[in-house]
Amino acid sequence: MYDLLISGGHLLTMQGEGVGFVEDGAVAIDGRKIVAVGPRTTVEANDRARQAIDATNRLVMPGLIDAHVHSAATIARGLAQEVETWMGSAYGPLIRHASEDDAHLWTTLALMEGIANGTTTFGDYEYPMERLVQVHAGIGNRAVVCQGVTEVDWSQRERWIDEGWRPGEPAPLDPAVGERELAGALAVFDRWHNHDDGRINVLLGPIAADMVSESLLLRCQAEARQRATLIHLHVAQDPRENTATLRRAGLRSIPYLDSIGLLAPETIAVHLSTATEDEVRLVAAKSGRMACCSNSIGIIDGVVPPARLFRDAGGSVALGSDQAAGNNSHNVFAEMRATAMFAKIAAGSPLPLPAWQVLRMATIDGARVLGIDDRVGSLEEGKDADLILLDLTRPPLAPVVMRPARNLVPNLVYAETGANVRLTLIAGRIIYRDGVFANVDRDAIMAEVASAVTRFEDAADADPAVTSLPIVELTRSGKI
């Protein structure tokens, strides 16, 4: 007997080369696993169910995968934008006033936002991850986390400035900091990897080639290989990366990473914003894994990430919302639309990255990039039951046209916002339904958030490095 039968809806299984559409389909679940997928009459004829969900007028599909998230940056949502040298001159001065004691609240907000609009898996890249991964575990979503590893001690920023350093330049490295950071990241791995039968997994996250020395990059790679996990690495995100590696090794960031063997199948390359076309093809050939954050990079840098080129070169592309300090939201529907639209605008053609390809980036290809496609990313027998239901009776998904052509996928990618998500199921457990979270007390969280925001405001407002930011001047002038 099935534990749960979801029947009567249209399915996008993401099986095969396209979206795997099934009209009037059903998904049967036993425990945390999918045990049958297909036409409703076939699945219902196989067995009865202890619990049934009527999916009539619903779309049933795999949960979305947000492959690159900095969840605790939510406190700076919308505050670090429309500036040059984003990290050094805006985000950095702001985020240092966010207390680690409150970080779990910002992560909770990010996860609630994502889950409510259909995200089931988060590739969270944060510090301190030990506390934040407990939020993932408690809310019930799937997570592929890593604690960032760096040799940069940002608490020394004012001293660097006094010594002549300027935002946008490579920051000094301190090997002692790197040793401490790597030890912390490995402790997270040892404590949390394969938690809850693989609902939470852990990667290693050296931050970027300009923030980690060659020796520490290679140690991270060796540790990842020993533990049979992946490396989650920002690659060619900012011009300062190329500046740093040119100074240290005489090579731009991507050729430098290739020269030391870091462009390997276990490496997830995030962003590739400043990569040349040849460098993108090199990463696609050597690594084959890219996390693309179109909205974040578009807003922060005014750049179109090379998702189309990477895919055309044979690599797999995942989508990520990055951080709300630069992107303003954690919404994979928004990432799908931006990724498709940017590719078309950049090419001056409506043809690049059709909707079905971008939907695969948000599901099965995203799972492949994170190394979990054996578990999730498609609705298939034997995979974990991570799926979402969307209401097809409301715009922008309504009206549903089935013949002579179907309009479901274009409307999902180009118009849906997540507002039509009615149910989010992870490993066979319902964690969100009709606006209600199973494992989160929304009112209690928002009360804590209000107090934490006040603490952040008080700390940031007392720092001249923050009060001189352009957004502060715009606020004082009444323009925003």
pLDDT, one tens digit per residue, over 119-163 is 999 999 998 899 999 999 999 999 999 999 999 887 777 788 777
pLDDT, one tens digit per residue, over 277-327 is 999 999 999 999 999 999 999 999 999 999 999 999 999 999 999 999 989
pLDDT, one tens digit per residue, over 420-455 is 999 999 999 999 999 999 999 999 999 999 999 999
Could you tell me the pLDDT band of residue 166, with boundaries at 50, 70 and 90? confident
Tell whether the model's pLDDT for residue 181 goes beyond 80: yes
As a whole number, mean pLDDT of residues 192-215 equals 97
The pLDDT score that the predictor gives to residue 92 is 82
The domains found in the chain, sorted by start residue, are: 2-62+377-437 (2.30.40.10), 64-370 (3.20.20.140)
The pLDDT score that the predictor gives to residue 480 is 84
The pLDDT score that the predictor gives to residue 197 is 97
The pLDDT score that the predictor gives to residue 155 is 76
pLDDT, one tens digit per residue, over 8-35 is 999 999 999 999 999 999 999 999 999 9
Place of tokens 């099965």: 364
- Tell me the Cα Rg of the chain: 22
Could you tell me the pLDDT band of residue 478, with boundaries at 50, 70 and 90? confident
Q: What is the pTM of this model?
A: 0.96
pLDDT, one tens digit per residue, over 97-114 is 899 999 999 999 999 999
The sign of the dihedral angle between the CA atoms of 91, 243, 252, 215 is negative
Place of tokens 């934490």: 452
The pLDDT score that the predictor gives to residue 479 is 81
- Dmax (CA) for the chain in angstroms is 75
Q: What is the mean pLDDT of the chain?
A: 95
Tell whether the model's pLDDT for residue 179 goes beyond 90: yes
